[in-house]
Amino acid sequence: MALLQISEPGEATAPHQYRLAVGIDLGTTNSLVATVRNGKAETLPDNNGQAILPSVVQYLGDNKLVVGEAAKNAAVDDPYNTIGSVKRLMGRSMADIKKLSGAIKYDFVDTESNVPRIKTRGGAVSAVEVSAAILTQLKRRAEQALGDELSGVVITVPAYFDDAQRQASKDAAKLAGLKVLRLLNEPTAAAVAYGLDNKAEGIHVVYDLGGGTFDISILRLNRGVFEVMATAGNSALGGDDFDQVIAQWIMQQAGIADNSNQSLIRYVSQQACAAKEVLSQSEQVEIVLDGAMGLSWHGVLSRSKLNELLDPLIKKTLIPCRRALRDAEVTQAEIEDVIMVGGSTRMLRVRERVAEFFQCEPLVAIDPDKVVAIGAAVQAHTLVGNKSDDEILLLDVIPLSLGIETMGGLVEKVIYRNTTIPAAKAQDFTTFKDGQTAMSIHVLQGERELVSDNRSLARFELRGIPPMVAGAARIRVTFQVDADGLLSVTAREQTSGVESSVQVKPSYGLEDAEIAQMLTDSLSHAAQDVAARNLCEQKVAAERVVLALQSALKADGDRLLSAAERKNLDAGLRHLQEVAQGNDHAAIKLATERLNESSTEFAARRMNDSIRSAMAGHNVDEFSE
């Protein structure tokens, strides 16, 4: 009698094969799923042989929905129930969404939470739920192709996704019933797909221009290890915006002034997208609006006119490129190669401008739509334990510095921008006042010196600190950023062991324009920030001296000081308090130093008095044994 091979969930049904894992490129415009089979990474097609799944969901009501090409085709006739480009909404508030460029004009409903929900025929849905529907479709496709359940997935996200957007991506995967092995930055995944590990050690650029997001990453390969030296980008710029610029030109040429008809706008946008694709192969294309929705217009769009229309948007992608080079402290001459990723990089004008900027011909050998999913599949293959001969270690970086608020409204950076992740760093802090039993921890993100100029991420409290004199307690604050870029902060009082922590899950994301502005401001206001920090630090130091001296005078001033000495210290105390109210950094520093000098003898007397009290009733031999 033959034996039956019984496989565990997540393992292949055939004996001696690898555990089943896939990589998913959850894109703004299109999504894909890929896996490694027979040592080769490949995308998995649907029953019609199509690997690309449009990231569009149509809600039909009665808990029914359509995902993919059919939904995309329905967008013109049913725009308010058909959701596309939902990736732009991930982890964002309504205030953020209103700032987004493009025609994201769904019917949003008011909710008690900060999570925006879109009104559809099937009920109000969030961006997480729409993304989960897309992931569910990809999961179903993978399990049908591989014949069993999955052990886990690697899902790619734009390098500039912040904590909220990354957490929203993980929530969508959980809702779809997927076990996330890791979130992987899209440019990093592309580097894996291109096998940069097989190249000589050097510096590489990944230029990723997709349907709705743009990312630039500068990577260094050193001894088989990929390190992302710097990243920059714009999560609200992509091929969708290119389509809209072309669509606006078409509408202008056709004399169409109605910008409120969503069905009309989507129809013209589809014509614009088709024209853009044709112009990657031809010098001109004829555009025909043949009676749809009462339209009747014929026109010609040339490649030169297309370049003129799109150059301003392409230029916007080169600004983050320049910033990333500066952050990585490298020049164009040091770049080994530039990898082109994302469907929008098929445009010849994009390739021309990128080649001109980086002074080298970009690599375009792998299908730019599939390269990210393939790289994610390679990483997933490794993470589930399917060891490969060319295993790669990937190191991403933190886009903005992380720190906490200290006295005087200052920011003490704990983990600096462009630090490789995963990362953990601890720093010790102390109490400011005598008998302080609690401490408020304010977690911040940004590059400026003052709290008011940075972004607040979270607040929590550490209670139960043993009462001590100011400065005696040791509070160790630990920042941990995991491989997905998610942050947790823990505060622990070292002597008592009391501890408190928070996992940073902001309710909405940070605009990339704001990130860029924060970086720009940190450079342009550097001298001003240093001066402001110095002033705040001197004021805090002065306040500490004042509080300490006031406490000492109250306890021992009448007993250990003469009337003249007491008068002199009181006068110095009043002078420092007056000067500390102003903004003269040098004057505050001078007054603090003088008061410290004049109180030195008093401090020595107090110390001697304490020693005599401790020694009372004992002899020296007891302490020398």
Strands of 225-234's sheet in order across: 335-341, 202-209, 214-222, 225-234, 393-397, 420-421
Residues sharing a CB contact under 8 Å with residue 512, sequence separation 6 or more, in sequence order: 160, 233, 234, 235, 236
Identified catalytic residue from 46, 72, 78, 87: 87
Question: Distance between CA 270 and CA 284 in Å, rounded?
Answer: 17
Residue type, position 566, single letter? R
186 as an active site residue: the answer is yes
Question: Distance between CA 30 and CA 84 in Å, rounded?
Answer: 10
- What are the tens digits of pLDDT across the range 345-402? 988 999 999 999 999 989 888 899 999 999 999 889 888 877 654 555 555 667 778 8
- What are the tens digits of pLDDT across the range 249-282? 988 888 887 666 777 787 888 888 888 888 888 8
Residues sharing a CB contact under 8 Å with residue 47, sequence separation 6 or more, in sequence order: none
Is the confidence at residue 205, as pLDDT, over 90? yes
Confidence of residue 526 (pLDDT cuts 50, 70, 90): low
Residue matched to tokens 């995902």: 67
25 as an active site residue: the answer is yes
What would the mean pLDDT of 438-464 be, rounded to a whole number? 83
Question: Distance between CA 446 and CA 466 in Å, rounded?
Answer: 32
Q: Which backbone phi and psi does 605 adopt, to 5 degrees?
A: -60, -40
Instruction: Check residues 243 and 569 and name the one with the higher pLDDT.
Output: 243
User: Closest Cα partner for 162 from 441, 518, 438, 463?
Assistant: 518
What would the mean pLDDT of 195-211 be, rounded to a whole number? 79
Among 12-26, 120-134, 338-352, 374-388, the range scoring the smallest mean pLDDT is 12-26
The structural domains of the chain, ordered by start, are 21-238+311-387 (3.30.420.40), 398-524 (2.60.34.10), 527-615 (1.20.1270.10)
Residue by residue, DSSP assigns 202-226 as EEEEEEEE-SS-EEEEEEEEETTEE
Identified catalytic residue from 46, 208, 405, 512: 208
Question: Distance between CA 456 and CA 387 in Å, rounded?
Answer: 41
Confidence of residue 40 (pLDDT cuts 50, 70, 90): confident
Q: What is the pTM of this model?
A: 0.59
Identified catalytic residue from 46, 162, 163, 186: 186
What would the mean pLDDT of 446-459 be, rounded to a whole number? 80
Among 67-76, 201-210, 604-613, the range scoring the smallest mean pLDDT is 604-613
CB atoms inside a 10 Å sphere around CB 458 = 18
What would the mean pLDDT of 147-174 be, rounded to a whole number? 86
pLDDT of residue 4: 42
Distance of CA 352 to the CA centre of its chain: 29
pLDDT of residue 13: 47
What would the mean pLDDT of 591-599 be, rounded to a whole number? 79
- What are the tens digits of pLDDT across the range 418-446? 677 778 888 888 887 788 888 888 888 88
- What are the tens digits of pLDDT across the range 62-117? 888 999 999 998 887 888 899 988 888 888 877 777 766 544 578 888 776 667 88
Identified catalytic residue from 25, 78, 241, 405: 25
Confidence of residue 1 (pLDDT cuts 50, 70, 90): very low
Among 82-96, 175-189, 384-398, 543-557, the range scoring the smallest mean pLDDT is 384-398
Question: Distance between CA 592 and CA 581 in Å, rounded?
Answer: 13
Kindly report the average pLDDT of the chain as a whole number.
Answer: 80
pLDDT of residue 162: 75
What would the mean pLDDT of 157-162 be, rounded to a whole number? 78
Question: Distance between CA 442 and CA 451 in Å, rounded?
Answer: 9
Q: Would you say 444 and 142 are in contact if contact means Cβ atoms under 8 Å apart?
A: no
